[in-house]
Amino acid sequence: MNDPLTLAPGVRRLRPDDHFMILSETDASPMHVGALILLDVPADGQDDFAAAIRRQFADRLPATPLLVRLHEAPDGYDSDVWADIARADLETLVAVEPHDGAWSEAELYDAVARLNMRRLDLSGPPFAAHLFERLAEGGSAIYLKMHHSVADGIGFQTVLGLLSDAAPPATARFADARLPEPEKWRCKADARFADEEALRAAQSARRKQALAELDAFKDDREPTPQLAMSGPTSDKRRYATISLPVARVKAAGKALDATVNDIFLTLASTALRNYLGEMGDLPDTPLVINSARSYRRDEHGSFGNRIVALHPHLATHLVDPVARLRAIQASMAKEMQRTAHDEALLDAAEKPYGARDRRAAFAERLAGGKRLLPGNLTLSNVPGPAEARSYAGFRQRHNYPVPIIGSGRFLNITSRRSGDNLDMGVIADAEKIADVGRIAALFTAALDELEIVA
């Protein structure tokens, strides 16, 4: 059976879920997945660091979904497509950030927060790498970001693996993929839509059934409370990091009959409860988060977006941390019960003029910068490798997420395993949170507190 997402050799259609990541992007809420990778680079290797990383990328990019450019279908009749290209301008895409000396941690984080707001140009490869050759604490760093339309957080981890020393160099490409002429493209789209007519009908029936069954869950979710810092997201960011030993988090979970994700959410709950209390902005009802669950299966492949939204509450109205943990577990359990129905709602094959119609619909929905989904903030815990990684022979010390803030939210904390650590990135709307480092410190202190009561 032919893959319906393949338009021509080297030309692959976007699914509607992937298109959403392009359409929901604004200047105040760029849509990419990122990592700040700290590497052990000796002082005598820092002058060659940029050249070494460019060689590493040049050798491995053909095995990733990044050596492509975006094309819109004529008249928006068919899906937009990624088309393979033979090579990329790595002098521009893998750029050295200038500094007269060495980057302090504060300077590095300020630079990452600023670069996080640059939207990626999808007329070329959908990624950018920013190199920091000398860090004051020693070593060097890469801030790599990839457009969210290419893959979700789990897919991004696969990309990082393919760019690392764990993957062999890939076979080089010698020519760009060719798009069909508009008339032929239209014929291919008509054939695809005809082949998928029964599938669309079956999916429509499943969506109607899912909507009916979701009615039983309509009163399970807490409403998203209004805070002083609620409202449209600004175009300014602040960034901080957290690193906790995986062993400590697992030990707390074992003592409290909780998963690593349960502990992650509870630590965030404690940190935010304490921070909002200090700011005089703690609501009487619990904060609600935007999170996600992957539903990726083998038949879906490694890339694209296969995530369903979750909106549990954080029980920030409760004083006792263990009581908060149990309330969070109960809220998440209810969310998980509905995810099969939510997945059915997302399971939609393309339809004629679907791309055109989505563009028009999102232009209206994004007006004013309001939330597209429930939740005051975003919390994500993404799987990462337990083994050590290296790039161009340089050992990775940390793999900190550099997350994004969805429209209408003020904060995102994303966790990712990196060897023996859980490395986390904390990004905040700078017009709403003056000291993101304070939230990071409260998060770390929350584990100390939980260990005492465990």
- Domain match, 166 and 228 both: no
- Which pLDDT value is given to residue 363? 77
- Which pLDDT value is given to residue 374? 85
Spatial distance between the Cα atoms of 423 and 248, rounded to a whole number of angstroms: 13
Examine the fold and report which residue of 141, 157, 186 is the final residue of a domain before the chain moves on.
186
- Domain match, 12 and 150 both: yes
Spatial distance between the Cα atoms of 284 and 338, rounded to a whole number of angstroms: 26
Indicate which CATH number applies to the domain containing 81.
3.30.559.10
User: Are the C-beta atoms of 418 and 399 separated by less than 8 Å?
Assistant: yes
- Whether residue 214 is contained in a domain is answered as no
- Which pLDDT value is given to residue 357? 95
- Domain match, 49 and 139 both: yes
Q: What's the number of domains the chain is made of? A: 2
Kind and range of the H or E run holding 416: strand 411-418
- Which pLDDT value is given to residue 227? 94
- Domain match, 117 and 233 both: no
Indicate which CATH number applies to the domain containing 386.
3.30.559.30
Q: Which of 145, 130, 161 is nearest to 34 (CA)?
A: 145
- Whether residue 363 is contained in a domain is answered as yes
- Domain match, 145 and 230 both: no
- Whether residue 193 is contained in a domain is answered as no
- Which pLDDT value is given to residue 161? 96
Q: Could you tell me the two tokens for 63?
A: 């095995």
- Whether residue 175 is contained in a domain is answered as no
- Whether residue 205 is contained in a domain is answered as no
Supply the Cα-derived Rg of the chain in whole angstroms: 22
The pTM is what? 0.94
Burial of 305 (0-12, 13-18, 19+ CB in 10 A): buried
**What are the 10-residue block averages of pLDDT along the chain, 454 residues in total?**
88 95 92 97 96 98 98 96 97 97 98 97 97 98 98 95 97 96 97 95 92 85 92 94 97 97 98 97 96 87 89 96 97 90 86 95 68 84 90 97 92 95 97 96 97 90
- Domain match, 293 and 158 both: no
Alpha helices in 24-171 (DSSP H): 49-60, 90-93, 105-115, 153-163
Examine the fold and report which residue of 129, 159, 186 is the final residue of a domain before the chain moves on.
186
- Domain match, 295 and 434 both: yes
- Domain match, 140 and 251 both: no
- Whether residue 218 is contained in a domain is answered as no
- Domain match, 164 and 296 both: no
- Domain match, 285 and 427 both: yes
- Which pLDDT value is given to residue 386? 86
- Which pLDDT value is given to residue 340? 85
User: Are the C-beta atoms of 337 and 180 separated by less than 8 Å?
Assistant: no
Q: Which residue range forms the structural domain that includes residue 120? A: 6-170+180-186
**Strand pairing category for 307-310 and 32-40:** unpaired
3-state DSSP percent of the chain in helix, strand and coil, to 5: 40, 20, 40
Spatial distance between the Cα atoms of 130 and 371, rounded to a whole number of angstroms: 30
- Domain match, 273 and 166 both: no
How is 315-352 classified by DSSP, letter by letter? -TT-SSHHHHHHHHHHHHHHHHHHHHHHHHHH-----T
- Whether residue 194 is contained in a domain is answered as no
Which strand ranges, in their side-by-side order, compose the sheet holding 6-8?
Answer: 6-8, 11-13, 81-84, 68-71
- Whether residue 26 is contained in a domain is answered as yes
- Domain match, 315 and 444 both: yes
